[in-house]
Structure 1
């Protein structure tokens, strides 16, 4: 080799080295989805082929997640086991993961979720089930990419979350596709993985697909053909089928309702007058209810599972006796069918008597919870009585009535992430107890001598309650019981009143910096600076394990996919709610399909309802409003209203607005009045408690 040739070769070598090592100077590289199809090559990563994927599902619907990452961590392993014990296909609220060899530039893509519900979007989540009534539906999406590897995720993992408030439908096949229109970071280019091309129908002489693999992707191939979409432009895809996470929950509710309806003798004792107020009498009693969770309550680290018999009914594990109260209005003669009933579900560390005790702030007592003591007799029972309604309270599962020795510690007992087997089942139990107790109230007869100032009516011998004219009300943790019993109970309710609501389990646990820090460090045992976003795989497991009682999923079933007459709904969102921040609350209202009525307090993305609720089609309405939501059973009122907290004991937190604000008391009082008169509720600007309605 002559000197001139050596010089040229040396120059080319130097240039190549310079390009490869200079900062910011990189050679173009191909970006492909990482595929390892069964029967073709063994998978080396949990995320290979994407997740969720029907490649992991057996003929019985069980999902194989044996290779989920970081199972040396005790709680991760525990959550994997919990999901393995109950998983029937995939949850309807979960992120989707696709692994790539290089980075997708999501920062340059739209951050408005509904842009991905378009057939022109570069990334789409599509209903590809030919038997689905929503075939071809595309979903709004939230996108993110992992920039560094961590203990759960590789680098360059695309994370796609269907916008929270939009659950997928049960027993339905979906596909996520990424097209080559998706922007890439740096100067890389797209290259379709040959295995992906093969499952999408791109001709290949080198890859022979196993029948099961080909069958998994058949719905997507058929959809692409029907839409005349070229599969060669698809650079990422996965196909999976959802299960029905609420089916057993609802089935159990129906069986428990049937059981209570057939009781020969009511399990009620010690019914007596308790206290008397100007507008109403309070009558207390004890009621025995069945329990269905195995183990020792409150199931701190183990136990809490529910067993089922061959007929599909939950198996009783215990009985317990708890207090209940009912209130009788004094200023209204009992209607022929009994008093309309406001059924109040207390929150964490609550008791049955809070239905009448939760009034305005009165004084501090640090020995009790809540540490601010309300004016007893001015709670929801008073508002109900002023409108001619009776009310009820019940000492629910994990309440202070249930576990008096635990006191305030019943709060973490109800939000205990250290036992995934019990977590969601605790809310199932809360709901089932309410459904059982409803049948008790339906059959209960109260001696008129226990409230002599009330008028039982001509020819009547006992006070009764009209559970065909019933409104459910809940605040904080009580929102789960109040809402879930409406959707799970075969018998409809007339109305629902909410305050201090949570959202999906993911958002409930990850909606504030404090919750995020606590869950990330104490539960997942990561360092505070390690990533803990909504799409984190541990949160995915948690959402999956707790799926039956996910609030947003059940709210959608209640209002958007009703199987019985849905209720009229009013909700009150407190500004600066330190328990369930706005980012969690608005997910619930999106799932409900609610409109925002009146002012949207707040000015930042994390403390407003709008424009986020617009993703679900919500409008901001001016007062008054009525019948704003269409259902197959007729139009309903379905709104959320915002208020600032006025309780100095809670630093003006918005969590308690339902008990503190006169305008709210007037609004839900009128809500009750319209319903008892058989009229569609009209929601107007609130004035003073007890004022006339429109």
Structure 2
């Protein structure tokens, strides 16, 4: 130890994880404060100082390529006319795809991602030991890096959010040298349409223990030094946020780097489209002449038919394979426009009347949404229809987008998956899952508005078969588990449901999804980023190109819709009950189609507790998530939304010879718990999680 610079004493990690939100009053906060005081006593003057890089160019066009991150990202100073400017985003390998993404989205986003990483640069290396050691340390008012809610209209005004940080010293293909990256802890996306300040304080030290100082332009923007003409506009724009930062306990003289930004609301457009659909599209109806009895069995009957019209808001040349094909949502004068209508085939299984006499209001019905490669009868082949019929539930399946007999389905069925997760076309990448959610909204109207029945002339009983419009449930697997949360957040037709293989956070998907072939994780590095050999080592969840992709597809990422299911539903909506499955082994292996971390972060953002005993604990839950729950023998009811909803994330070991993606079908106990949950949800609005 040289001079009077001292490292903070070690703090027990387990204690931090158990009590992460006590940082303001904990011994950990005192430790940070003590180390900051030691570092600031003037005894570091002999060591070289490091300045932040913070520029306020007269024109955003100056921030291009290698200079793009010379100004903080994200930053409200990088908006024009209220829209985010992406022009000039680094594309060192001159990739056509990246140019298309940037060109299509420049001046389109009205705010910054609530989940993506951000970047601040320094003129030299910093001492990484002075960074917050865990997200919990970033919650301290004396920490070196803090993310503070500075929005006067926010209910969390002045509060700090848990963040993760990463420092990159060496320049990479996409990384500038000496870049500090930060991002909200996965599972804790930021509040939409809210202003935040990423504040770096003088508790941060340069490499070797020297001071880190605010650049001259930043000092002017903070109001410490007189602002020149080229900084005055930035000073005026930042002044309210700087006042809020000081009110939160950080004096402006302590600020050495700063990014102030306002988040977007990724859910807003889908919610508006759902409302437009209900107001503008006629309710669908089944075509009587095409209704038919497909199969009779001792405990159930299967019927098939066609219904329509179902509206499409996508415009372009289906199936929107390339950028030139379009696929974005149609609009006129800023209002949604229905681009066309189509019909859908369906299958519906109905319990045998001898076992389950039809209730007066009709049978409860489960809307089943299949995974990639499935079709309208997938639920029959997996025996889900049979199992739920034995619990007196009807089940309906349809072709999901790009599948089966839909008009936009490709001739090669194997292309359905790549088209849905269409990284080749930014327009379709932003709309496919939302169009799928709107398909579910319209499908539910078959029962809630049109009151579809099986005609007496088709029914195996010779009598009309009815379905209860107040008992609509949902079961989504894989692809259906991605558009399902969007539907459940946007619409109030269903009581809740089961989500299987339902991952979230695009950054995780791009880094960890390996199935179905080809591996997305491998393609991202080699094809989409143009990296070779050792260069691939620069890719992580903080990577600038990964952050850009996350920002662009936020609108289809379930992570942003998760809280709207039961923590903060849309106005007038009842909270929904959710049973979620994850196939995972204690070593972390399991689901190769939907990354386990993405499933876990989805559940965390939703507010679902982990069912105990678990296969493995989830680190991020320790930063403010719900505690694990043990389901009692009589089941668990009312553990969510103040007693009005029920749900858990249930981890199951992978069945031998299978993939963790399919535990809800391949593990009998998982299937039984899922089916029992749906039955209980039909019996009572809040449902009950059965004992495993």
Give the TM-score band, short-chain normalised. Answer: 0.7 to 0.9
SS of the aligned residue for 2:52 comes to: coil
SS of the aligned residue for 1:529 comes to: helix
Matched, 1:350 2:360: no
| Runs of 5+ consecutive residues of structure 2 not aligned to the other structure | 1-45, 585-589
Please give the TM-score of this superposition, normalised by the length of structure 2: 0.85
Question: What residue in structure 2 maps to residue 12 of structure 1?
Answer: none
Distance 2:690 2:640 in 1: 20
Structure 1, residues 566-618: CA drift from partner, whole Å, max 9, x if none? 211111110111112222211111111111112222xxxxxx44233222422
Q: How does 1:30-429 map to 2 (within 5 A)?
A: 30-39=49-58, 45-59=67-81, 61-70=82-91, 72-84=94-106, 86-106=108-128, 109-202=131-224, 204-205=225-226, 207-208=228-229, 210-260=231-281, 262=283, 270-288=290-308, 289-302=310-323, 303-310=326-333, 312-316=335-339, 318-330=340-352, 331-358=355-382, 378=383, 380-402=384-406, 403=409, 405-429=411-435
CA change 1:519–1:158 in 2 (3 A) is same
Alignment RMSD? 2.4
Structure 1, residues 43-80: CA drift from partner, whole Å, max 9, x if none? 57111230111111123x11122121117321111111
Structure 1, residues 153-197: CA drift from partner, whole Å, max 9, x if none? 211111001011112122211110011112432343212212212
1:641 to 641, 650, 659: 650
Distance 1:165 1:241 in 2: 19
CA change 1:241–1:185 in 2 (3 A) is same
Distance 2:87 2:467 in 1: 52
Distance 1:196 1:668 in 2: 55
Determine which structure has more spread, i.e. the larger CA radius of gyration.
1
Structure 1, residues 269-303: CA drift from partner, whole Å, max 9, x if none? 51111112222111111223232222222211122
Matched, 1:440 2:446: yes
Verify the 8 A CA contact 2:475 2:498 in the aligned structure 1. Answer: yes
SS of the aligned residue for 2:70 comes to: coil
Verify the 8 A CA contact 2:221 2:232 in the aligned structure 1. Answer: no
Deviation at 1:346, TM superposition (A): 0.6
Question: What residue in structure 2 maps to residue 560 of structure 1?
Answer: 567
Question: What residue in structure 1 maps to residue 503 of structure 2?
Answer: 502
Structure 1, residues 381-425: CA drift from partner, whole Å, max 9, x if none? 122212211111111211133326222221222222111111121
CA change 1:430–1:98 in 2 (3 A) is same
Verify the 8 A CA contact 2:367 2:475 in the aligned structure 1. Answer: yes
Verify the 8 A CA contact 2:566 2:577 in the aligned structure 1. Answer: no
Structure 1, residues 405-456: CA drift from partner, whole Å, max 9, x if none? 22222122222211111112111111111111211233212113433259xx
| Runs of 5+ consecutive residues of structure 1 not aligned to the other structure | 1-26, 359-377, 455-460, 602-607, 687-694
Verify the 8 A CA contact 2:580 2:649 in the aligned structure 1. Answer: yes
Question: What residue in structure 1 maps to residue 551 of structure 2?
Answer: 544
SS of the aligned residue for 1:176 comes to: strand
Aligned length in residues: 619
Verify the 8 A CA contact 2:444 2:493 in the aligned structure 1. Answer: no
Distance 1:194 1:519 in 2: 39
Distance 1:250 1:526 in 2: 38
Question: What residue in structure 2 maps to residue 511 of structure 1?
Answer: 512
SS of the aligned residue for 2:219 comes to: helix
Verify the 8 A CA contact 1:261 1:439 in the aligned structure 2. Answer: no
Deviation at 1:128, TM superposition (A): 0.2
Question: What residue in structure 2 maps to residue 457 of structure 1?
Answer: none
Question: What residue in structure 1 maps to residue 662 of structure 2?
Answer: 656
Verify the 8 A CA contact 1:144 1:158 in the aligned structure 2. Answer: yes
Distance 2:335 2:485 in 1: 24
CA change 1:312–1:609 in 2 (3 A) is farther
Distance 2:174 2:574 in 1: 44
Verify the 8 A CA contact 2:132 2:144 in the aligned structure 1. Answer: no
Distance 1:496 1:524 in 2: 38
Please give the TM-score of this superposition, normalised by the length of structure 1: 0.84
Report which stretch shifted further, 512-521 or 297-306.
Answer: 512-521
Report which stretch shifted further, 222-231 or 242-251.
Answer: 222-231
SS of the aligned residue for 1:347 comes to: coil
Distance 2:543 2:203 in 1: 26
Question: What residue in structure 2 maps to residue 18 of structure 1?
Answer: none
Deviation at 1:118, TM superposition (A): 2.8
Verify the 8 A CA contact 2:274 2:441 in the aligned structure 1. Answer: yes
Q: How does 1:468-483 map to 2 (within 5 A)?
A: 468-483=470-485
Distance 1:622 1:73 in 2: 50
Structure 1, residues 474-493: CA drift from partner, whole Å, max 9, x if none? 1111101221111112x242
Structure 1, residues 83-139: CA drift from partner, whole Å, max 9, x if none? 226311222221111111122333564443233123232211111011112211211
Deviation at 1:228, TM superposition (A): 4.5
Distance 2:500 2:278 in 1: 26
Runs of 4+ in 1 over 6 A off after TM superposition: none
Matched, 1:615 2:636: no
Distance 2:640 2:691 in 1: 23
CA change 1:405–1:561 in 2 (3 A) is same
Deviation at 1:656, TM superposition (A): 0.5
Distance 1:242 1:583 in 2: 24
